[in-house]
Structure 1
Amino acid sequence: MRSFTFSHAITRRPSASIVAGLRAVDTGTPDLALMQAHHAEYVAALRSTGAVVVELPALEAFPDSVFVEDTALCLPEGAVVMRPGAPSRLGEAAEMAPHLAALYGQVVQIEGADSFIEGGDILVTETEVLVGRSARTNAAGVAELTRRIAPWGHSVREVFTPPGVLHFKTDCSLLDGETILSTKRLAESGCFAGYKVIHVADGEEACANTIRFNDLVIMPAGFPNTRATLEQAGYNVREIGNSECAKLDGGMSCLSLRFTPKP
Structure 2
Amino acid sequence: MTQDASFRFTHAITRRPPGSVANGLRAIDTGAPDPALVAQHHAAYVAALRATGATVIELPALDAYPDSLFVEDTALCLPQGAVIMRPGAPSRLGEAAEMEPHLRALYSRIHRIEAPATIEGGDILVTGREILVGTSARTNAAGIAALDAITSRWGHRLRQVHTPPGVLHFKTDCALLDAGTILSTERLAASGCFAGYRVIHTAPGEEAAANVIRFNDAVLMPAGFPATAQRLRDAGYGVTELPNSECAKLDGGMSCLSLRFTPS
Report the TM-score when normalising by structure 2: 0.98
Give the alignment partner of residue 20 of structure 1, picking from 20, 23, 30.
23
d(CA) in 2 for partners of 1:48, 1:22: 30
Mapping for residues 1-263 of structure 1, pairs under 5 Å: 1-111=4-114, 113-262=115-264
**SS of match in other structure, 2:6:** coil
Identity percentage of aligned residues? 72
Deviations 1:131-176 (A, max 9, x none): 0000000000000000011111111100000000000000000000
Cα separation, 2, equivalents of 1:55 and 1:168:
26
- Measured against aligned partners, the alpha-carbon deviations of 1:84-107 in whole angstroms (never above 9, x if no partner) come to 000000000000000000000101
What does the per-residue CA deviation read over 1:17-37, in whole Å, with 9 as the maximum and x for residues that have no partner? 111000000000100111111
Q: Could you list the runs of 5+ residues in structure 1 that have no partner in the other structure?
A: none
CA distance in structure 2 between the aligned counterparts of 1:224 and 1:90, rounded to whole angstroms? 36
Please give the alpha-carbon distance, in whole angstroms, between the structure 1 residues aligned to 2:162 and 2:153.
25
Runs of 4+ aligned structure 1 residues displaced above 3 Å come to: none
* Corresponding letter in the other structure for 1:212: R
Q: Matched residues in 1 for 2:96 and 2:247: separation? A: 19
Give a deviation string over 1:177-219, Cα, whole Å, max 9, x none: 1100000000000000000000000000001000000000000
Aligned-residue CA RMSD (Å): 0.5
The CA distance in 1 between the partners of 2:21 and 2:123, in whole Å, is 22
In structure 2, the residue corresponding to 1:251 is in which secondary structure?
coil
How many residue pairs end up in the alignment? 261
| Residue identity in the other structure for 2:74 | T
**What amino acid sits opposite 1:73 in the alignment?**
L
